[in-house]
Structure 1
Amino acid sequence: MAEIETPGLRRISIFDTTLRDGEQAPGNGMLPDQKLRLGMLVDGLGVDIVETGFPASSPSDYKATQALSHQLTNARFATFVRAVRADVDAAVQAGGVEKHQIQVLATGSDIHLEHKRGVSRADGEHEMADTIKFARSLGVTDISVAVEDATRGADDLLHSLIDTVLEAGATTIAIGDTCGCLLPDEFGALIAKVREWAPRPTVVATHCHDDLGLAVANSLAGVMAGADEVQATLGGIGERAGNASLEEIVAALIYKGKSLGVYTTVRPDLLYPAYQVLAEAIGLPPLRNKAVVGVNSFATQAGIHQAGILRNPATYEYLEPEVFGRQRQLMVGRHSGRAIIRYLLDQLGASDEGALVDQMYEEYVSGREGGECYDLDTVKALMRERLEGKDEAAALR
C-alpha cells in the first residue's frame, strides 16, 4: 500500500456533504439524531469539513446543525445558504461562527440565471457580494462560494463572478458540475482556469455529480489541475445519480497519490463502518458492485480468481481489504474451481488426492445450479460431515 503521507506531496482537503447534498435526494432524509450519529462518525474519519445541512430550510436541519456544531471535535462544519441575508442569519444562529464555514450558493450559468432565477448576471453578482459582506459582518471568516452549474457557465460570467466574490471576502470557490455533464479533461481544464482566476491562498474545491458516471474521475481531474479540496458523499449518495463517492476518492488518493502528487489523511479503515450506519439510516439496500463498500468488493467465487488469490492475494486484489476495514471472502458457487476444494480439504487435514477432490468438486461445485454461493465455513463444515460419513447432512439443499 502507498504511504498515506509522503513529503513533497500536496494534501487534499475533504469536504463531506453526505448530510446536506446527499440527504436531500429522494429517500435519503435523516432525523437530527441520525445526522448527529453519522456526522460524528464522519468527523472521526478525519475529513476537514462536515456540511451539516441547510438550516434555513427546515427545523430538522437547524437542529442538526445546532447539535453537530457543539459535538464535532476534529472537523470544521459547514452550512448551506442561498444568497439571502436571512439564510445566513439562520445559519449563524444555529451554529455560531467558530469553526463554521458558510457555503453560499451562487448562480454560475446563463441558463440558470434566466430560466431558474429570472435575474441578470449583475444581479447575481450583487446578491453574492451583499451576502458575503453580511456574513463577515456577523463574524464569519470562512466563506465558500458554491458556484452552481459552473460547468455550463461562460468563462466571462464565471471570471467576473469569482472576482466579485473574492473582493467581497470569499475564501473558497467550489466549482459545481451540477448536472454531471463534463468529461474529466473538460472539468480539469475548467479547474485550471479557476485556479488562475483564484490564486492561493483561496481554496478551489470540486463538487461533481455522477450523471455520466464520472463524478470521481472528474474530481480527480480537478485535483490534478490544482483543486485543493474535494466535496463528496459516503456511498456517492445525492441528487439524481449521486455525488462523487467519498470512499472512492479516498481510495484513489491513497493508492494513486504519488501519481497525482497528493495525499489524504482520511482514515480508510473507518469508511465502511460509517457507510453501514448511513445505509441503515436511509434504508439503502446492500449493493453488490459498489467499489470499496459493496458486498462483492472483496469477494469472489470465480475459480480462476480464487486459484490466484490462494497463492497470492495481489494477483486479483489491487485494493487491500484490511486497509478499508473489510475482509476477503472466497465463496463457493458453481463458478468455483478445484483450487478452493483443495484448500478446504487441506484446512480439514484431509487428503487432496485427485479422486477425493473430484468427488467434492462434483458435490459442492459442479452440481450446483443458479447463483447460490456459500461461505467457506459453511462448506467446510459440510465437507467435514461428509468425510466423517454423515451423509444425511452432507449435501447443500
Structure 2
Amino acid sequence: MSEQRATRRISLFDTTLRDGEQAPANAMNPEQKLDLALRIEALGVDSVEAGFPASSPSDVEATKLISKELSKARFATFSRTVRRDVEIAVEAGGTVNHEVQMVATGSDLHLEYKRGITREQSVAEVVDTVGFTRSLGIEHISVGIEDATRSDDAFLQALTESAVEAGATCIIIADTSGCATPEEFGTLMGKIRRWAPAPIRLSTHCHDDFGLSLANALAGIAAGADEVQATLGGIGERAGNTALEELAGVIAYKQDHLGVHTDIDLGAMYDAYTALRRIIRLEQPRNKAIFGTYAFGTTAGIHQQGILANPATYEYVEPSRFGRERSLLIGRHSGRAVLRHLLQQLGVEVDDERLNDLYRVHIAERVGGDCEDLAIVRERLAEELGLVPAAAASV
C-alpha cells in the first residue's frame, strides 16, 4: 500500500459575523451571532470573528457573549489602528483566547482619499497600535493590510516588517476590491511570506468581485499562506468573500494534490448554513456550489441515465459528504431512463409503444411546473396505470 504523503494544515478564520454581517441585509443581533458562532466553532474553524466592538453597542454585546461561550476556537475582534478601538475590544472580550485584528491602510489610493495621511503615518499607526495591544496582554495580534493588491512592494514591505517587529503574530493580505487574479495574488503572497517568515501566520482575505476569491485563496495557500479568512455561503461585502464550504470542499477532495488539509466537518456545514439563511432571511440560490438548491439535482436525461447507473458519472462532489441529498427531477429535458426507473419502482413493465406514450405525456410535452420531484410523477403514473401509488422510494 502506498504511503499517503504528509500535508500541511491550513487554519480557517471565519468572518461570517463581521465581514459577512456588514454587507447589506445581513444584520444579526447578539444572540443570533452567538448561536451562529457556536455552530461555526463546531465545524472546526480556528477563529470566529465576533465583530467590530468600537462600531456599535450591539457588537460589544456580541463579543461579550461569544468570548464567554467558545471553548475550542479563538474569538476575534476587528479594530482600526487606533488604541481606543483595541481598548473597547478588550473591555468587551478580555485578553484570554482573544485575537485582536486591526486593519492597516495599505494603498496610496486609500491613504489619499479615505484617510488623508501619508505612508509613514500609516506605518507609525500600526507600530503604535500593535505595541499597545501587546502591552494589554494580548497574545494573538493580526494586522490586516487593506487594499494590499493595489499597493506596491516598498509600502507593503514596510508595513509587514514593521508590524512583525512591533509584535504582530499574523499578517493578513486583503484583496479588498476583489481586483486580483490568482497569478497576481499568489505572487504577492510569496513576497509577503518572505518578509514575514514562519512562525508568523500568513492569512488571505479575498473578495469575490470577479468570482475569483476561492481561486485567489488557493493561490495564496500555494505561495505559503497558513490561513484563509472565509464566510459561510461566501456572504460579505458586494459579491462576498471566499466561501468556507467551497474552500473546505476543494481541499478535502484535492488534499494530496494541494498538499494541505483542514479539520473542517464537511457534513455539518449545510445545517450551519441553513441556520445562517434563516437568521438573515437569505434566499437559497439555485446554482451555488455545495449549498445551491440544485447543486446536487438535475432534470437532464443524459445525466440522469448516468447517475442511475453509477452516481460517480456526474457527481464528482458527493452530496452526502456535505449533508445534502441527490435530487433527480422530472422536466422536459428528462429522458426515458428515469421513466423506466419510475416504472420499475412501481413494478410495471410496458412495451416500447406504451413507454413512448408515457414519455410524451409526462416528459416531452409535459404541462405545469418546470420540474417536479420523482415521487409526484410516480404517483401520477400509478394513477394513470390504475395502480395503488407505491411508497416513496429513494433515488
- TM-score by structure 1 length? 0.95
1:286 deviates by 1.6
1:313-324 correspondence runs (5 A): 313-324=311-322
| Matched AA of 1:362 | R
CA deviations on 1:93-124 (whole Å, 9 max, x unpaired) are 11111111000110111111111111111111
Give the one of 274, 287, 290 matched to 1:289.
287
Contact 1:334 1:371 in 2 (8 A): no
Correspondence 1:86 to 2:88? no
Amino acid of the structure 2 residue aligned with 1:173: I
Could you say what secondary structure the match of 1:23 adopts? Answer: helix
Aligned-partner Cα distance in 2 for 1:387–1:73: 59
Q: Deviations over 1:164-214 (max 9, x none)?
A: 110110000000000000110100000000011100000000000011110
- How far apart are 1:64 and its partner, in Å? 0.7
Q: 1:188 to 1:342 in 2, by over 3 A?
A: same
Once residues 240 and 377 of structure 1 are traced to their aligned partners in structure 2, the CA distance between those partners, rounded to angstroms, is 39
Q: State the 1:383 CA deviation.
A: 1.4
Corresponding residue number in structure 1 for 2:392 = none
SS at match of 2:171: strand
1:224 aligns with 2:239: no
In structure 2, the partner of 1:11 is 9
State the distance in 2 between where 1:98 and 1:378 align. 55
Partner of 2:75: 77
Are the counterparts in 2 of residues 334 and 369 from structure 1 also a CA contact under 8 Å?
A: no
Written as runs of structure 1 = structure 2, the 5 A alignment for 1:52-63 is 52-63=50-61
Partner of 2:178: 180
Q: What pairs with 1:287-366 in structure 2 (closer than 5 Å)?
A: 287-366=285-364
> 2:197 matched to which residue of 1?
199
Q: Deviations over 1:234-264 (max 9, x none)?
A: 1111111111111111111111121111011
What SS is found at the alignment partner of 2:120?
helix
Between the aligned partners of 2:306 and 2:350, the Cα distance in structure 1 is 18
Q: What letter matches 2:119 in structure 1?
A: R
CA distance in 2, matches of 1:216, 1:372: 32
| Conservation of the 8 A alpha-carbon contact between 1:342 and 1:352 | no
Identity %: 55
Corresponding residue number in structure 2 for 1:48:
46
Distance across 1 between alignment mates of 2:214 and 2:265: 18
How far does the alpha carbon of each residue in 1:15-34 deviate from its partner, in whole angstroms, 9 at most, with x for none? 00000001001111111111
Matching residue's letter, 2:155: L
Which of 239, 259, 262 lines up with 1:261 in the alignment?
Answer: 259
Match of 2:27 among 23, 26, 29: 29
Corresponding position of 2:393: none
SS in 2 for 1:39: helix
Secondary structure at the residue paired with 2:22?
coil
What does 1:246-257 correspond to in 2, within 5 Å?
Answer: 246-257=244-255
> RMSD of the alignment, in Å?
1.3
What letter is aligned with 1:136? R
Could you tell me which amino acid in structure 1 is paired with residue 85 of structure 2? D
Q: Is the 8 A contact 1:268 1:325 kept in 2?
A: yes
Q: How does 1:127-146 map to 2 (within 5 A)?
A: 127-146=125-144
**Deviation for aligned residue 1:370:** 7.0
Query: What is the CA distance between 1:390 and its match in structure 2?
Result: 8.6
Distance in 2 of aligned mates of 1:244 and 1:352: 51
Give structure 1 stretches of 5+ with no counterpart. Answer: 1-5, 392-397
What amino acid is the match of 2:54? Answer: A
Structure 1 Cα separation of the partners of residues 9 and 264 of structure 2: 11
Check if 1:153 corresponds to 2:151. Answer: yes
Report if aligned partners of 2:79, 2:89 keep a CA contact under 8 Å in 1. yes
Question: Distance between the aligned counterparts of 2:123 and 2:268, measured in 1?
Answer: 41
Question: Aligned partners of 1:354, 1:206: CA distance in 2, in Å?
Answer: 58
Moved over 4 A (4+): none
Distance across 2 between alignment mates of 1:10 and 1:369: 54
C-alpha distance 164-390 of structure 1, shift in aligned 2 (>3 A): closer
Would the alpha carbon gap of residues 119 and 325 (structure 1) be closer, same or farther in structure 2, given more than 3 Å must change?
Answer: same
In structure 2, runs of 5+ residues without a counterpart are 390-395
- 1:124 corresponds in structure 2 to 122
Q: Is the 8 A contact 2:204 2:217 kept in 1?
A: yes
Superposition deviation, residue 352 in structure 1:
4.5
Could you say what secondary structure the match of 2:184 adopts? Answer: helix
Whichever residue aligns with residue 323 of structure 1, its letter is R
Give the aligned residue type for 1:222. Answer: G
Q: Which amino acid aligns with 1:358?
A: N
Match of 2:219, SS state, is helix
- AA aligned opposite 1:160: A
Q: For each residue in 1:27-52, what CA deviation from the matched residue of structure 2 results, as whole angstroms up to 9, or x when unmatched?
A: 11111111111111101100011001
Taking the aligned partners of 2:250 and 2:27, their CA distance within structure 1 comes to: 28
Which of the numbers 89, 100, 103 marks the counterpart of 1:102? Answer: 100
In the alignment, the residues of structure 1 paired with residue 388 and residue 304 of structure 2 have an alpha-carbon distance, to the nearest angstrom, of 28
User: Once the two structures are superposed, what CA deviation does each residue of 1:272-305 show, in whole Å capped at 9, x if it has no partner?
Assistant: 1111111111111120110000001000000000
**Per-residue deviation, residues 290-337 of structure 1 (Å, max 9, x unmatched):** 000000100000000000000111110110000000000000011100
Letter in 1 for 2:188: L
Equivalent pair of 2:37/2:48 in contact (CA under 8 Å):
yes
Q: State the match for 1:273 in structure 2.
A: 271
Relative to structure 1, is the Cα distance of residues 131 and 302 closer, same or farther in structure 2, using a 3 angstrom cutoff?
Answer: same
How far off its partner does 1:353 sit? 3.2
TM-score after normalising by structure 2: 0.95
Letter in 1 for 2:321: V
Q: CA deviation at 1:389?
A: 6.2
Please give the alpha-carbon distance, in whole angstroms, between the structure 2 residues aligned to 1:7 and 1:263.
12
